[in-house]
Structure 1
Amino acid sequence: MTAAPEAAPLAAGFAAAYGRAPDGVWRAPGRVNLIGEHTDYNEGFVLPFALAHGVSVAAARRDDGIVEARSLQVPGEPVSAPVDGGPVVAEGWPPERAWAAYPVGVARVLRAALGTGGASLLIDADLPRGAGLSSSAALECATALALCDLHGVDADRRELAALAQRAENEQVGAPCGIMDQSASLLCTPGNALLLDCRSGLSGQVPYAPGDADLTLLVVDTRASHAIGDGDYGRRRAECEEAAALLGVPALRDVTDLAGALRSLPDPVLRRRVQHVVTENHRVEAAAGLLRAGAVADLGAMLNASHLSLRDQFEISWPQADTAVDAALRAGARGGRMIGGGFGGSVIVLTAADRADRVRDAITAAYAERAWTAPAFLDAVPSAGAHRAA
């Protein structure tokens, strides 16, 4: 196997840290969800694609029942924990160890489900944490692939996505849906992944904005995002309450939106339902546009999604709204916040020859408000998780 360029330095770092060469290096990407926000845990549809940026894990097998993790992004002592154990979240780890709950949690879930064992891990990333680009899922999926390969377990990728999600839900205590892990493991270059979050069925939808002289920019608003801080969980609980009041298994099953809204007395729950139901429709419409080669027409879908997330689901934040407004004034076709909300990133679809103007407009708008300058990534549909060396 030919090593990816990023694998060699990480392997060398592993040797320096552990005094031996790793057995391999595994890499999993972050993701951008083109459209379909907060529909995954409502058993609806999402349309993510993998980024070129992600998380890499150099690893070596251990047979002593211990997983030891070190991170190049978090200097300090390594974190060691047994692979047999209960939820990490119940053990009261201090904040400086919180990052390690993800690989340790994955190791514990895979141990119980698949019989994998311990490992020594060294983690590196070129994906910004807190930007809403799914760095946690990328870490989980890279770790899961590494553990399966190290211990000779041949796991189906959909099963592995579900186990990684379980680790985040049960071990870390973050109530995420299945989208992020599925995107990291199942996406392919040049495509978005149309995923039915109820059945787990998925299909690749051609997505190549460059062929239409378009660029999708990711704008890291520099307002940190975390789904474990309570707001995300409250939105999920509101959706579950609304579904129960409407007598449906999940909001995905609401077919008469007007009737549902009339039957809910709580205006907050009405707003949540309106977002989820209309967002599911936007996902299906966006997939149709992509199949028809009408990438440029996605702009209106992105704008509608952002307004719904801002006004109906109420999870946008000032930097996101400003970035979208500035981009549209500069001639972008569309934009929206992505991720769990309350911080993170925005995506902007623009003509390639207008991308610099859009970047400059967003940066200027931030400067006017004395905010930290945003960062930009070009979002190119890339490969899913894989062994890099």
Structure 2
Amino acid sequence: MRESASWLAPGRVNLIGEHTDYNDGFVLPLAIEFGCRATVSPGPDGLLRFVSAQESEPVEVPVEGLAPDGVQGWAAYPAGVLWALGVDLPGLTVTVDSDVPLGAGLSSSAALTCSVAAAANDLLELGLSPRELVAVARKAENGFVGAPTGGMDQLASMLGEAGSVLFCDMRSLDVRPVRFALDDAGLALLVVDSNAPHRHADGEYAARRKACEQAASVLGVSALRDVTLDGLDEALAKLAPEPDGDVLVKRARHIVTENARVTDVVARLDAGQIREIGPLLTASHASMREDFEITVPEVDVLVEALLAAGAHGARMTGGGFGGCVIALVDNDAVAAAARAAADAAAAHGFAAPRTFVTAPAAGAHAVDPSGAEPPRQPPVDTNASGAPDAG
């Protein structure tokens, strides 16, 4: 066994396609410059040791005690990866260092699990493919941590490509890079972290998923992905008489129209019409606000401020109930848009947002175990508000 293996996996921004992943639908994420570096090395026999640059104390777990519910807190994620590998483990030390902001909806957990999965695969010479590592990382979150992620985050972190968004069919898990030529069009993707605390996110996420599954059952389909835009009115008419029919109607309408918006965005990007995706981003936010009911005042205010400042489109990104907003803006309007967001937050008494510009980055890749390559930083920080809260 080698001395160590180090891999870096990025967080992600979802350009469009929210809550469609667990409905077998379509998503369009991109890997970003924030990332987590994991180094896995041999350790004392029978012991798994987890160390984070963002935590004061290491966590130690006996190999024989590695089981769901046996590890709590941040260490459950890397521990879950080792469990999900499904192999006999030697003693190992896992060291992680991340600059993905926590709680911002940028998938710090996928960056963590994917980097650990790739480094462990490398060190132990398991020969798992990137797609198999996606399954390992997702199993760690679903089966060990108990987080009901739909798989999009892990696909983006493992398979992302610089310069492209990743068109993912979450039923087949087929992916296709789609060129996202921001610079060529004189555009920038501005990310605005609302710094809003997530409100009841876990329970609300589960409730949305349950409602989608209930709607699919009533309609006699395996998932809401099977309802077409042309058949939406008929489907909603079937849902309306059900108990909680008003909720089922709204949840289903969001998923069906969001899938259509994803494919429309892909068609426009394929045609080189990047500016024309803006209204679709904004329509996605309206659907998340009105039909899926996952936005909060902080992100709604930011979206409105960015649009008023001239953004071509803006929407919340991520699971909701807090987190980040993204906006498609002209390159020369980035600073003004960031100021408008900060001013709007201040006027409403909200926390000051943190803003940065991002672009599609490479997915998981090996890095120098000596630490010569630090975690990546965004190329532009529009307000220099300090180091991200990473874990």
TM-score, normalised with respect to structure 2: 0.89
Cα RMSD (Å): 1.7
Separation in structure 2 between the aligned mates of residue 87 and residue 247 of structure 1, nearest angstrom: 37
Alignment of 1:373-384 (within 5 A): 373-384=352-363
Aligned to 2:218: 245
Separation in structure 1 between the aligned mates of residue 119 and residue 272 of structure 2, nearest angstrom: 37
Superposed displacement of residue 85, structure 1: 5.0
Determine if contact 2:5/2:122 at 8 Å carries over to the other structure.
no
Amino acid at match of 2:183: G
Counterpart among 58, 61, 71 of residue 42 in structure 2: 61
Aligned to 1:103: 78
Aligned to 1:7: none
Aligned to 1:15: none
Separation in structure 2 between the aligned mates of residue 102 and residue 22 of structure 1, nearest angstrom: 23
Change (3 A) 1:64 1:378: same
Determine if contact 2:201/2:321 at 8 Å carries over to the other structure.
no
**3-state SS in 2 of match to 1:27:** strand
Superposed displacement of residue 224, structure 1: 3.4
Amino acid at match of 1:82: P
Superposed displacement of residue 228, structure 1: 6.7
Aligned to 2:317: 338
Cα deviation code 1:77-113 (max 9, x no counterpart): 211123455643x33x5xxx41111000111011x1x
Determine if contact 2:39/2:116 at 8 Å carries over to the other structure.
no
Aligned to 2:61: 81
Determine if contact 1:217/1:348 at 8 Å carries over to the other structure.
yes
**3-state SS in 1 of match to 2:22:** coil
Change (3 A) 1:297 1:115: farther
Amino acid at match of 1:79: V
Superposed displacement of residue 72, structure 1: 1.4
Determine if contact 1:107/1:117 at 8 Å carries over to the other structure.
no
Superposed displacement of residue 240, structure 1: 0.7
Separation in structure 2 between the aligned mates of residue 253 and residue 87 of structure 1, nearest angstrom: 36
Separation in structure 2 between the aligned mates of residue 273 and residue 233 of structure 1, nearest angstrom: 15
Change (3 A) 1:132 1:118: farther
Cα deviation code 1:323-358 (max 9, x no counterpart): 100001111111000111101111011011111110
Aligned to 1:290: 269
**3-state SS in 1 of match to 2:167:** strand
Separation in structure 2 between the aligned mates of residue 254 and residue 127 of structure 1, nearest angstrom: 36
Amino acid at match of 1:138: A
Cα deviation code 1:121-152 (max 9, x no counterpart): 22111110110000000000000001101101
TM-score, normalised with respect to structure 1: 0.89
**3-state SS in 1 of match to 2:21:** coil
**3-state SS in 2 of match to 1:53:** strand
Change (3 A) 1:157 1:298: same
Alignment of 1:121 onto 2:59: no
Aligned to 1:309: 288
Amino acid at match of 1:107: L
- Residue identity over aligned pairs, in percent, reads 48
Change (3 A) 1:193 1:226: farther
Counterpart among 251, 254, 258 of residue 233 in structure 2: 258
Separation in structure 2 between the aligned mates of residue 239 and residue 195 of structure 1, nearest angstrom: 20
Instruction: List gaps (5 residues or longer) in structure 1.
Output: 1-20
Superposed displacement of residue 298, structure 1: 1.1
Change (3 A) 1:63 1:293: farther
Separation in structure 2 between the aligned mates of residue 83 and residue 291 of structure 1, nearest angstrom: 49
Aligned to 1:216: 189
**3-state SS in 2 of match to 1:122:** strand
Aligned to 1:199: 172
Amino acid at match of 2:311: A
Separation in structure 1 between the aligned mates of residue 59 and residue 28 of structure 2, nearest angstrom: 35
Separation in structure 2 between the aligned mates of residue 291 and residue 149 of structure 1, nearest angstrom: 35
Superposed displacement of residue 177, structure 1: 0.3
Superposed displacement of residue 118, structure 1: 4.3
Aligned to 2:326: 347
Determine if contact 1:24/1:60 at 8 Å carries over to the other structure.
yes
